[in-house]
Chains A and B, each alone.
Chain A
Amino acid sequence: MRRALVILMVWMAAAVGLVSSNDYFVSVATTMAFLALWAQSWNLLCGLTGNISLGHSVFVAVAAYVTVILFQQAGVSPLLGGLLGILGSVVLAGIVGAATLRLRGPYFTLATLSAAAVVLSVILHYSELTGGPSGLAITFAHDSPFDLEFTNVRAYFLIATGLLATVTLILDLLKRSKLGFYIAAIKSSEEAAAAAGVRVALVKVIVFCLSAALTALGGVVYVFYIGFLDPNFLSGLTLSVEIALIAVVGGINYLIGPIIGAIFYEAIDTAANATFGASGGWDVMLLGFAVVVLVMTEPRGLCELAIRLLRLVRGRPARSWS
């Protein structure tokens, strides 16, 4: 499995390199990579614990703002500032994670949604520091690697893909580790796990923080790629929903599920925009209904669907519904 992933990553990078004269293509691929990265980080929390977070964008926002504010107002290098930003997100995650320990299902979901909304309100309100609703722009004319500034968008693509591969590997390793074992135990039965001596609360909070840290990591690089911080987007419901959607569409039970989900989602989104964008509404409609069709066909996600199709093609009986 691990080798497959590495091959996958190399292949993706090579493919894009081959058509690299097309900046558009690279930018789409880069967006896919970031979305996949966030979906993977999300999946750590939600795929393994069964709760759905619709507030993950807040970790992108906090890290991004801390990094950029420190960079623009205190001259702190984004490499260091980024670490502080990630730390900020982790602290927030610790608080939210601890506060929502006893919440399950829709309660948990709405709590995460609220946390992101509160942070957004705060960002918009303290506008002297954060630029308020106008956001912050990151402009640069020359490459400055230690400032995460690259004029060639391919640099960001490589970084994003590299981070994605790293995070995927981390998740893979995690599954086989002691922590992963505790997580699986909690997922199947909290009471049994607690009875067996697993420190449930601590594990839950750790997972939350780890998920937030990885999301934040992506966020720090992302804002330099886009060059602009829009608070409504970075801490918004749209991004949170996108992240969750991508992971679930891809398949939360598969390691590469979020990656597949990101490719599918971004491909349909950009293709729909490209073909129907000018027609007012068709592109959005297509995207939404594509998701509906997919879920009705195979609620367990694209990976599962792919396996079903391939079994069908190879003539083996389809797996039963269990």
Chain B
Amino acid sequence: MRKRGLSFLASFWTVVVAAVLASAAARAADTVDIAVIVPLSGPNATVGEMIVNATKLAVEDINSAGGIKSLGGAKLNPIIADATNDPQGAVTTTERVLSQNKLAGAYGLALSPLTTAALPAFVKHHVPVVTSAISNTLVTPNNGGYLFQIAPKGTAFGNQQVEFLKFLNDKYKMGITKAAILYVNNPYGTATEKGIEQLAQKAGLEIVLNSAYPENITDASPLVSKIQQSGAQVLFPVSYITDASLILTGLRSADSHVLVIGGGAGFIWPPIGESLGDKVNGLISAASWNLDSKNVKDQSALSGVTQRYQKAYGTFMPEQAGEAYAGISVLAAAIESAGSDDPAKVRDALAKLHVTGGGGAMMQPGEVEFDANGANTHVVPVIIQWQNGVPHTVFPESVATAEVAKP
């Protein structure tokens, strides 16, 4: 048994080594590699897919415009990897991709827990990562300096939801004073909720209900009951896809007239439009990005991108895709500016970057700059309202292109 055991293990180990080495990417001479590490399996795969779709478009556009000109027209090459659904997998994948490739930069990991877990690997390998993850804790002073958050911070969503309510209250004299907050119990939910709480009192709102609910619920009727019990006039829900649908249909079943101002995610991605049909029109939510904000609509190149996405993938360009397009473009701009594919130099370029045009201007308000902690200094979340089956930007005024229909 002793000897057999060892020879068995020897063959196993060889297989492992072979498999691992075999998957090392071959690198062409005049390409610049960037990694795109996002969840591509498990319940968040749908988010990863949106990002990969947008990446393909962005890379196509950048390369057909001449690639990275300061590197002699080198073509951008995205290396796509599955961050999986848990931090362990995220770290392993990140380590693999970073160790086996010579990367100029990366985009990932879409979800805050995965990004937080993988961040030390990026710092260790000196590879800058642009992220759409929203957690405030990602952009703190001791994060190593390699993270660049292109999306608004989590609390900013909550802030914007309340700001918009104030706007509606003023515009339509709605007299809403009682607010309910229901949020999914994950980092996205808790960060957004904080933002709502922060501003609600200042806005003169009384919070009559503030409750987390577990992920992956299959029934929202207790939530709806609680909302009705609380006497709330406005609901700020922060939900993923299934719960958003269950909450909205639950409210409709109970014939509730509470005003809903969603916190993004489930309220703005294509599935809710599909499931509610034309009953989705009128739904209001915050979003990191929307396809018809002024900065996008006013530029034919950018609105062209959204149309090409629609054509290629069959749905309107969702939030995560727009952010990814902007993020990849910003990364390319940094490589261009650094004149090098040395990731440490790219990081420095990102820190100093000021984007006002090109793909990066996809991100509202049309310019991108990062502060010392990596947060995007100019971005604000937008408020959208579904009209004719597509989300339209209605707030803030600086980027709005549609008028909000009275809820």
> Does A pair with B?
yes
Which residues of A does B touch, CB under 8 Å? 1, 3-4, 7-8, 11, 15, 19, 22-25, 27-28, 31, 121, 124, 127, 132-135, 137, 139, 151, 226-228, 230, 232-233, 236, 238, 256, 260, 263-264, 267, 270-271, 273-275, 277-281, 283-284, 306-307, 310
Residue of A nearest to B7 (CB): A310
Are A226 and B117 touching (Cβ within 8 A)? yes
Are B93 and A273 touching (Cβ within 8 A)? yes
Are A263 and B87 touching (Cβ within 8 A)? no
Separation of A270 and B21 alpha carbons in the complex (Å): 12
CB proximity of A57 to chain B, nearest CB, Å: 11
Are B13 and A15 touching (Cβ within 8 A)? yes
CB proximity of B85 to chain A, nearest CB, Å: 8
- Of A22, A23, A24, A267, most buried by chain B (CB within 10 Å of CB) is A24
Are A270 and B92 touching (Cβ within 8 A)? yes
Query: How many of B's residues come within 8 Å of A, CB to CB?
Result: 57
- The verdict on A137 contacting B185 (CB below 8 Å), with A8-B9, A226-B91, A310-B4 known, is no
Are A133 and B185 touching (Cβ within 8 A)? yes
- Of A3, A273, A284, A310, most buried by chain B (CB within 10 Å of CB) is A273
The stretch among B94-102, B222-230, B242-250, B251-259 that forms the contact with chain A is B94-102
- The verdict on A233 contacting B92 (CB below 8 Å), with A1-B1, A8-B5, A267-B16 known, is no
B49 adjacent to chain A (CB < 8 Å): yes
Residues of chain B in range 120-152 having any CB-CB distance to chain A below 8 Å? 120, 124, 135, 137, 142
B19 adjacent to chain A (CB < 8 Å): yes
Separation of A4 and B4 alpha carbons in the complex (Å): 10
| Complex partner residue of A27 from B41, B91, B187, B215, CB under 8 angstroms | B91
CB proximity of A157 to chain B, nearest CB, Å: 13
Are A280 and B45 touching (Cβ within 8 A)? yes
B305-320 Cβ-contact flags toward A at 8 Å (1 or 0): 0000000000000000
CB proximity of A304 to chain B, nearest CB, Å: 12
Are A228 and B87 touching (Cβ within 8 A)? yes
21 pairs from A and B in contact (CB 8 Å cutoff): A4-B2, A23-B98, A25-B17, A127-B190, A134-B112, A134-B137, A135-B113, A137-B116, A151-B124, A226-B87, A228-B117, A230-B113, A232-B186, A233-B86, A263-B12, A267-B12, A273-B82, A275-B23, A277-B41, A280-B49, A284-B41
Are A271 and B80 touching (Cβ within 8 A)? no
- The verdict on A226 contacting B186 (CB below 8 Å), with A4-B2, A28-B20, A277-B93 known, is no
Separation of A133 and B188 alpha carbons in the complex (Å): 9
Separation of A132 and B137 alpha carbons in the complex (Å): 14
Are A273 and B89 touching (Cβ within 8 A)? yes
Are B95 and A27 touching (Cβ within 8 A)? yes
Residue of A nearest to B125 (CB): A23
A28 neighbours in B (Cβ, 8 Å): 16, 20, 92, 96
Are B187 and A134 touching (Cβ within 8 A)? yes
| Complex partner residue of A134 from B5, B13, B135, CB under 8 angstroms | B135
B8 adjacent to chain A (CB < 8 Å): yes
B92 neighbours in A (Cβ, 8 Å): 24, 27-28, 31, 270, 273
| Complex partner residue of B113 from A11, A24, A134, A275, CB under 8 angstroms | A134
Are A24 and B84 touching (Cβ within 8 A)? no
Residues of chain B in range 63-120 having any CB-CB distance to chain A below 8 Å? 80-82, 84-89, 91-93, 95-96, 98-100, 112-113, 116-117, 120
Are B88 and A1 touching (Cβ within 8 A)? no
Q: Name 20 extra pairs, CB < 8 A, besides A8-B5, A25-B17, A232-B215.
A: A15-B13, A23-B98, A27-B91, A28-B96, A121-B214, A132-B190, A133-B185, A134-B112, A228-B87, A228-B116, A232-B186, A260-B9, A263-B9, A264-B12, A267-B19, A271-B23, A273-B84, A274-B23, A281-B41, A306-B5
Are A278 and B80 touching (Cβ within 8 A)? yes
B187 neighbours in A (Cβ, 8 Å): 133-135
B6 adjacent to chain A (CB < 8 Å): yes
| Complex partner residue of B190 from A121, A133, A263, CB under 8 angstroms | A133
B187-216 Cβ-contact flags toward A at 8 Å (1 or 0): 101110000000000000000000010110
Separation of A273 and B92 alpha carbons in the complex (Å): 10
B15 adjacent to chain A (CB < 8 Å): yes
CB proximity of A52 to chain B, nearest CB, Å: 22
Residue of A nearest to B78 (CB): A278
Are A134 and B12 touching (Cβ within 8 A)? no
- Of A4, A7, A230, A281, most buried by chain B (CB within 10 Å of CB) is A230
Separation of A25 and B23 alpha carbons in the complex (Å): 12
Are A306 and B112 touching (Cβ within 8 A)? no
CB proximity of A308 to chain B, nearest CB, Å: 11
| Complex partner residue of B40 from A256, A278, A306, CB under 8 angstroms | A278
Are A307 and B95 touching (Cβ within 8 A)? no
Are A7 and B6 touching (Cβ within 8 A)? yes
Separation of A139 and B124 alpha carbons in the complex (Å): 12
A236 neighbours in B (Cβ, 8 Å): 86
Are A270 and B13 touching (Cβ within 8 A)? no
- The verdict on A256 contacting B120 (CB below 8 Å), with A270-B92, A277-B40 known, is no
A151 neighbours in B (Cβ, 8 Å): 124
Are B82 and A283 touching (Cβ within 8 A)? yes
Separation of A49 and B13 alpha carbons in the complex (Å): 31
Are B20 and A283 touching (Cβ within 8 A)? no
CB proximity of B7 to chain A, nearest CB, Å: 8
